[in-house]
Amino acid sequence: MTSRAKAGSPGFSLLEMIIALFILTLLLGMAVLSTRNVLADEEIRAAVRELQLFAKTARNHAAEINRSQELVLDADSWTLQSTSLIKSAKESSPGEIKEEYTSYKLPSGIRWKVKPWGSDQWETPKNLAWIFSSTGLCAPHRFRFERNNSWMEFSINPLTANPQQEDFNLP
């Protein structure tokens, strides 16, 4: 004699379990893809924050030591060439100038372009010198950072070196 399960018995059938696992797998896959996009967007934001920090540092240092500072922009990095006056032991000597270099390298996959002040064209920077004068003034360049379909654009205020006119597409 064979026994059959009653129609109203508790528990789930194999088909119901497979469907539930399939739906759970789809939801988990969408969550992973969403998280991956958020992490990629955060890399763009981090690179933008670093350039803004370098600009602010160059402006402040130029005004502090009363000497121009130079931010050299390249295709995958930028370097702050900061000059400092070091007082020598003798009061009569003028001192020596020490150059310090601080660099930032873009994460792989992030591209950036610069629209120099007075230009209508975006260009990939190649040893482009962005000068911060001893008064703290700089050229109000516009910058664009890209990764796949995500991008951020902003310009720098020439008086304060603060970001302004920010636009972005971070899907």
Higher-pLDDT residue of 30 and 20 is 20
Backbone angles phi, psi at 91, to 5 degrees: -70, -30
Q: Is residue 1 domain-resident?
A: no
Q: Is residue 88 domain-resident?
A: yes
* Overall average pLDDT of the 88-103 stretch: 59
Q: Is residue 30 domain-resident?
A: yes
Residue 92's pLDDT band, with cuts at 50, 70 and 90, is very low
User: What domain range is 40 assigned to?
Assistant: 16-169
What is the DSSP pairing of strand 150-156 with strand 77-86? unpaired
Q: Is residue 65 domain-resident?
A: yes
Q: Is residue 100 domain-resident?
A: yes
Residue 171 clears pLDDT 80, i.e. is over it: no
Residue 22 clears pLDDT 70, i.e. is over it: yes
- Single-letter amino acid code for the residue at 161: A
Q: What is the pLDDT at residue 33?
A: 75
Instruction: Give me the number of domains the chain comprises.
Output: 1
pTM of the entire predicted model: 0.72
Residue 105: C-alpha distances to residues 46, 73, 76, 80, 108 (Å): 12, 10, 6, 12, 9
Q: Is residue 86 domain-resident?
A: yes
Per-residue model confidence as pLDDT tens digits over 67-80: 899 999 999 999 99
Domain with residue 96: its CATH number is: 3.55.40.10
- Single-letter amino acid code for the residue at 19: I
Q: Do 68 and 133 touch, CB atoms closer than 8 A?
A: yes
